Chains A and B, each alone.
Chain A
Amino acid sequence: MLSQHSELKTGNNADADFIADHLLHRLYRLQQQHRHIPPQLMVEVAREFGLPVSQVVAVVNFYSFLYQQPVGRYHLLFSNCTSCGYQAGEVNLLALLCRQLNIASGQTRADGVVSVDETSCIGMCDHGPSMLVNGVPIVNLDEGRIKQLCNLIAAEQSLDDWPADWFRINNHIRKPDLLLNAPLECGDSLKKALAGDALLMLESIMQSGLRGRGGAGFATGKKWLFCREAESDTRYVVCNADEGEPGTFKDRVLLQCHADALFEGMTLCAYGIGAKKGFLYLRGEYRYLLGHLQAVLRRRYDSGLLGASILGQAGFSFDIEIVIGAGAYICGEESALIESLEGKPGIPRIRPPFPVTHGYLGRPTVVNNVETFIAATHIVQYGSAGFSAVGTEKSSGSKLLSVSGDCRTPGIYEYPYGVSIQQVLDDCGATQVQAVQIGGPAGSLLAKKDFNRQISFEDVSTGGSFLIFGENRDLLSINRNFARFFAHESCGFCTPCRVGTRLLENSIGKIADGRATWRDVDEIKQLSGFVRHYSHCGLGHTAANHILDSLRHFPGDIQNLLVQQAFTPAFDLDAALETARQMTQRDDADAHLE
């Protein structure tokens, strides 16, 4: 066991290049080896890392991709996103898969060969239904592919021998603009920045009006300046590549095609704030990108763009390491991400203090989205004036949209801020659209009358997710999917969100099943307000948005399903007696409830 650990440390193993020596990585390897993390190994790992056993157990418990019971040798995780999920098409592919494999979802088959479960959106929304097989994405699933795949599993064929085109992931860049069009020569922006003072560079980022692309939209230049000014001898740069918002996949494409610009942006930030160390926090679903990212880092080190004395400038050194998550949407929230970086469960911190003053290991830390760093590189290269000339008054530059759902050409569309929703729909060939969900389940659900609104921080803001729902979609099933997403991804730290998201999920289910009354709708409204106002972090604050939006824009869809009674129980009372009836073999009048 120890030898593996030191292997990670020394970096002799090319696979381990630039991979941080991190608890999650250690646990991932054990998971690969044993298909779960046996309790005695948790104790061993705790000793190795000098941590309390309780912390290791808590981490294993917290992350979806670490298991306490063995999963199958083929571990299949079906994405349950509304675009790349098993219900994206006509057929419920998950049900088909389970039938073929003779297994129930959420279980490992008794022979230990295969296990099937669902997972939150894996960011393949422009590739049709998709799943992770032993952590590797397989896309464009259909009935034929599922059946073929089950045969391969039955024959216990190695994944290496599965058809290569199943694993082929395209970038689908449909409409490039400011960022995607501009050629960026490796190291050019860095040379420009190093030629001048760091403050000068920060000044230009501020002047550009660049705001964070990950969702919250905080002014990037200001963030960097705050971090620089915070009292400390050590600072960190963190790139948030956790991209977990269902329907978002633009960071995946950027990591694939613009990794250089990203690492350059992180290095610029390091120069600006005076950091020596940076992390790329990559979501576990994107582990397959690792080899590529390592190669880019290797090249940058070899060209003197990373490491000691960058571009020959004595005293400016910067190292980047990669940390890979293990299936937790909440780790995209910056303070949860930092907890995760520190080898803990991803539970959001109380803010303030914010990461810019108290971040990784309590030190000032800049956390930015992938796209933000790339935009920064662009600004340093081409100047702030050109950047701020594009977009709207309060939203300068362009935004990458991950467009998916009911349209002809899903993929990446880059627009200057201020583009109308209708324009995007026209460009991607979406006709007969009922609604769009912008900014993921946490964002806004908009109906036709709002399609003239614009994408910008002033109007409809988004981290990048743009989901399209055609006229024949059942919107309530979308709400049900989202409600489930939040209930599943709630980190469980605070009661309003942990319990509230579950209650919302139940209530939406009750409406969808045609058992709800007006009273339930009133309660949903009240509960939504409660979850929104009393939750600890952004996940809870936004978890009820989609429901309130549906009630506002599509009241008829819900009204039609309500039963005209004053009250209905939350569950089927008679069905709840069924097990007891069977066990006692009773069927008398008292053994039933209406």
Chain B
Amino acid sequence: MTERKIKIATTSLAGCFGCHMSFLDIDEQLVQLNERIEFNRSPLTDIKHCGPSDIGLIEGGVCNADNVRVLREFRANCKILIAVGACAITGGVPAMRNYFDLRECLEEVYLHGAGVTNPQIPGDVELPLLLDKVYPIQEVVPVDYFLPGCPPPADAFLAILLPLLNGAVPPQMADCRFYYD
């Protein structure tokens, strides 16, 4: 094939990288896929900012101001944005902190928690500020597709990417395999 390679960017916001690991689980098909795609910003490339891309894969929810900025950069640069995994779609595991007030969380961790020495709330400008809650990404930017699962199984990545690479519309959730590992 002589056509230009499809550019894919990926990132993990408030996630555990499990979704990325699952993506790599497509194993030898990665070699085939690699002939058709190239990675832009991604933990696989170490490119720091997302450049113009065809597809953006977002793992994880939005828990702090930096997540918001990264997510917006992806949205601005990716033609198609995909929410990957339970955390991106619902907030997932990190959103369990939503049952508590942010104030309570920070005080517990940095002031009153067991084994805390030199209690203080870190306020360095280098540190991204936490949002009051962990939010799903579609509440912050428009999202084109959702790939559910925790993590989505390796096949599911192919099920959504292959049609997109061919310029087709991916199947509805009801038509594909959907399970939580």
Contacts and interface: CB of A to CB of B under 8 A. Distances in A.
Given A590-B65, A593-B65, A573 B103 contact: no
Nearest to B143: A567
Give the interface residue-count category, chain B: 20 to 34
Nearest to A589: B125
A385 interface: no
Interface in A329-382: none
B135 A580 contact: no
B104 to A, nearest CB: 10
A573 B132 CA distance: 9
A519 interface: yes
A297 to B, nearest CB: 46
A126 to B, nearest CB: 41
A585 B102 contact: no
B79 to A, nearest CB: 15
A566 B131 CA distance: 24
Interface string A555-586: 00000000000110111010011111101111
B68 A578 contact: no
B105 to A, nearest CB: 10
Question: A573, A576, A588 — which one has the most chain B CB atoms within 10 A of its CB?
Answer: A576
Interface string B113-133: 000000001110100111111
B124 to A, nearest CB: 8
B144 to A, nearest CB: 12
A273 to B, nearest CB: 43
B122 A580 contact: no
A569 B106 CA distance: 25
B123 A586 contact: yes
A51 interface: no
B139 A580 contact: no
Interface string B84-123: 0000000000000000011100100000000000000111
A159 interface: no
Nearest to B90: A499
Contact of A580 (B68, B129, B140): B129
A576 B139 CA distance: 13
A569 B140 CA distance: 5
Nearest to A571: B139
A579 B141 CA distance: 22
A295 interface: no
B121 A583 contact: yes
A567 B103 CA distance: 30
A416 to B, nearest CB: 47
B178 to A, nearest CB: 14
A584 B106 CA distance: 10
A459 B68 CA distance: 50
Nearest to A590: B125
A591 B65 contact: yes
B142 interface: yes
Nearest to A579: B102
A579 B132 contact: yes
A573 B140 contact: yes
B132 A576 contact: yes
A570 B142 contact: no
B130 A567 contact: no
Contacts of A584: 121-123, 129
Contacts of B106: 580, 583
Contacts of B65: 577, 590-591, 593
Nearest to B136: A570
A181 to B, nearest CB: 55
Contact of B125 (A573, A578, A583, A586): A586
Given A584-B129, A585-B123, A579 B103 contact: yes
A580 B131 contact: yes
Contact of B128 (A576, A585, A590): A590
Contacts of A588: 125
Nearest to A519: B142
Contact of A577 (B122, B131, B135, B141): B131
Given A567-B141, A591-B65, A593-B68, A576 B123 contact: no
Given A577-B131, A584-B121, 19 more contacts: A519-B142, A569-B140, A570-B135, A571-B135, A576-B131, A576-B132, A577-B132, A579-B101, A580-B131, A583-B102, A583-B121, A584-B122, A584-B129, A585-B123, A586-B125, A590-B65, A590-B128, A590-B129, A591-B65
Lowest 6 A-B CB distances belong to which pairs? Answer: A584-B123, A570-B139, A580-B129, A576-B131, A567-B142, A576-B132
Interface of A: 519, 566-567, 569-571, 573, 576-581, 583-586, 588, 590-591, 593
